[in-house]
């Protein structure tokens, strides 16, 4: 746990996700008597809630990013711009893509999740990792300028897919035919019936074709192929399908759930290794919730406090996930849909509320 000089090994934070930005803001390395290190492949962390607004032209790049390097400098946290590639929980060290190996006294993991593509499918553009989506978006812009139009399918009809479909339609206008494709029989299947009806009406209104019960098996020769044999001709595909965990965690020795996510207790602590914590999409909670940023954000303060208490050997706090949570769906035309407690509403005031919520979150991490 310490080096030859008796100095405690650092707290290592892997990933600049929505929970870790709060940890960086709150943890005081001086009080803990050890260094705090953040490992992230990029100096800027995107805020997913505003990505559709960026695609639709409402926001610029800086509007929806947190400058992690600056946040770290302000908080006395060391920033390492690289990726973690392996964890050895027995030796208590992390291997980085640049070859360095870091010992830790506490490890915290907030690395998000990645879309699961149908097996064997490699084409198309995944919306995650969001940090590099802005580069992949250039491919869609090229398709648009090359063909002057095209057919574009967004696969996955959860909140992210629905928002991306509206945002892409707004970006390219009517000359690109945007469609929304998904396995379920309706969009945003885990939200209220009234919100689903509103989404369907808005899709019709802007001319986004909807293909429900379309279980994509392949994307080949300019066609999406469904399990039941249906096909849809498309030039490009954007994947917003359900999320998986990175495979490199499988050799870490950490207890994982069947999908490969890190199993944690109510204190966000690994079930197998109490010096390891996880939050956000990568954490598999005792009382599971959908993979959504709203949970990562709420876990941030608890995670920061529990890392601190763990070092100071104090009792940890429990994280109690909300039973009902608000979803704000941007329609990319200055309006948004709000949905909570089975009640939904549409309007400009909802979009203004969403903008206020999103920018208030980001402002906390700017100085």
Ligand X SMILES: Cc1cc2nc3c(=O)[nH]c(=O)nc-3n(C[C@H](O)[C@H](O)[C@H](O)COP(=O)(O)OP(=O)(O)OC[C@H]3O[C@@H](n4cnc5c(N)ncnc54)[C@H](O)[C@@H]3O)c2cc1C
Binding site for ligand X (CB under 6 A): 14-19, 39-42, 45, 48-49, 51-52, 83-84, 110-112, 127-131, 159-160, 163-164, 240, 280-282, 291-294, 296
Give CA–CA dist 54/121, Å, rounded.
27
* C-beta contacts of 349-355 below 8 A and 24+ residues apart: 353/328, 354/49, 354/328, 354/330, 355/53
Cα dist. 192→15, 52, 184, 324, 350 in Å?
A: 33, 22, 15, 11, 17
Nearest distance from residue 274's CB to ligand X, in Å?
21
CB closer to ligand X, 121 vs 164: 164
CB closer to ligand X, 311 vs 327: 327
Nearest distance from residue 176's CB to ligand X, in Å?
18
CB closer to ligand X, 225 vs 355: 355
Contacts with 173 (C-beta within 8 Å, 6 or more apart), sequence order: none
Nearest distance from residue 302's CB to ligand X, in Å?
13
Nearest distance from residue 221's CB to ligand X, in Å?
27
Judge contact between 110 and 11, C-beta under 8 A. Answer: no
Nearest distance from residue 228's CB to ligand X, in Å?
27
Nearest distance from residue 157's CB to ligand X, in Å?
12
Residue-wise DSSP of 293-357: HHHHHHHHHHHHHHHHHHHTT-PPPPP---SS--EEEE-SSS-EEEEETTEEEEEHHHHHHHHHH
Nearest distance from residue 193's CB to ligand X, in Å?
20
CB closer to ligand X, 18 vs 225: 18
Give CA–CA dist 61/206, Å, rounded.
26
Nearest distance from residue 182's CB to ligand X, in Å?
14
Per-residue burial over 135-155, b = 16 or more CB atoms within 10 Å of its CB, e = otherwise: eebeebeebbeeeeebbbbbb
CB closer to ligand X, 19 vs 92: 19
CB closer to ligand X, 144 vs 291: 291
CB closer to ligand X, 225 vs 261: 261
Strands 343-347 vs 336-340: parallel, antiparallel or unpaired? antiparallel
CB closer to ligand X, 225 vs 264: 264
Q: Which residues pair with 178 in a beta bridge?
A: 152
Kindly state the DSSP code that residue 32 receives in the 8-state scheme. H
| 56 CA to centre of own chain | 19
CB closer to ligand X, 184 vs 231: 184
CB closer to ligand X, 112 vs 187: 112
Nearest distance from residue 304's CB to ligand X, in Å?
13
Half-sphere exposure of 11 (CA within 13 A, CB side): 28
Residue-wise DSSP of 125-178: EE--SGGGHHHHHHHHHHHHHHHSS-EEEEE--SHHHHHHHHHHHHHHGGGSEE
Nearest distance from residue 354's CB to ligand X, in Å?
8
Give CA–CA dist 344/86, Å, rounded.
44
Contacts with 356 (C-beta within 8 Å, 6 or more apart), sequence order: none
């Amino acid at each position: 746990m310490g080096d030859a000089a008796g100095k405690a090994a650092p707290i290592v934070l892997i990933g600049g996700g929505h929970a870790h930005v709060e940890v960086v803001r709150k943890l005081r390395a001086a009080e803990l008597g050890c260094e705090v290190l953040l490992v992230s492949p990029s100096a800027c962390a995107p805020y997913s809630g505003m990505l559709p607004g960026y695609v639709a032209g409402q926001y610029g790049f800086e509007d929806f990013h947190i400058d992690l390097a600056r946040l770290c400098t302000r908080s006395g946290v060391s920033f390492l711009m690289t990726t973690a590639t392996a964890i050895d929980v027995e030796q208590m060290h992390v291997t980085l893509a640049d070859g360095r190996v870091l010992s830790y006294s506490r490890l915290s993991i907030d690395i998000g999740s990645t879309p699961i593509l149908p097996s064997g499918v490699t084409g198309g553009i995944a919306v995650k990792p969001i940090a590099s989506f802005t580069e992949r978006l250039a491919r869609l812009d090229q398709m648009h300028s090359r063909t002057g139009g095209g057919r574009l399918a967004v696969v996955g009809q959860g909140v992210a897919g629905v928002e991306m479909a509206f945002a892409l339609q707004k970006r390219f206008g009517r000359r690109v035919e945007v469609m929304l494709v998904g396995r379920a029989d309706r969009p945003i299947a885990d939200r209220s019936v009234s919100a689903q009806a509103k989404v369907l009406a808005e899709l019709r209104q802007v001319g986004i074709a909807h293909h429900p019960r379309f279980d994509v098996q392949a994307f080949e020769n300019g066609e999406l192929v469904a399990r039941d044999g249906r096909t849809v001709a498309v030039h490009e595909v954007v994947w917003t399908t359900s999320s998986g965990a990175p495979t490199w965690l499988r050799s870490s020795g950490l207890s994982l759930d069947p999908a490969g996510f890190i199993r944690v207790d109510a204190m966000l602590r690994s079930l197998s290794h109490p010096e390891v914590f996880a939050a956000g999409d990568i954490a598999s909670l005792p009382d599971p919730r959908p993979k959504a940023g709203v949970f990562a954000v709420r876990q941030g303060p608890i995670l920061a406090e529990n890392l601190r208490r763990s070092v100071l050997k104090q009792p940890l706090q429990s994280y109690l996930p909300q039973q009902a949570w608000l979803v704000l769906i941007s329609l990319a035309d200055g309006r948004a849909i709000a949905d909570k407690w089975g009640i939904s509403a549409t309007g400009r005031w909802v979009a203004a509320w969403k903008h206020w919520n999103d920018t208030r979150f980001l402002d906390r991490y700017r100085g």
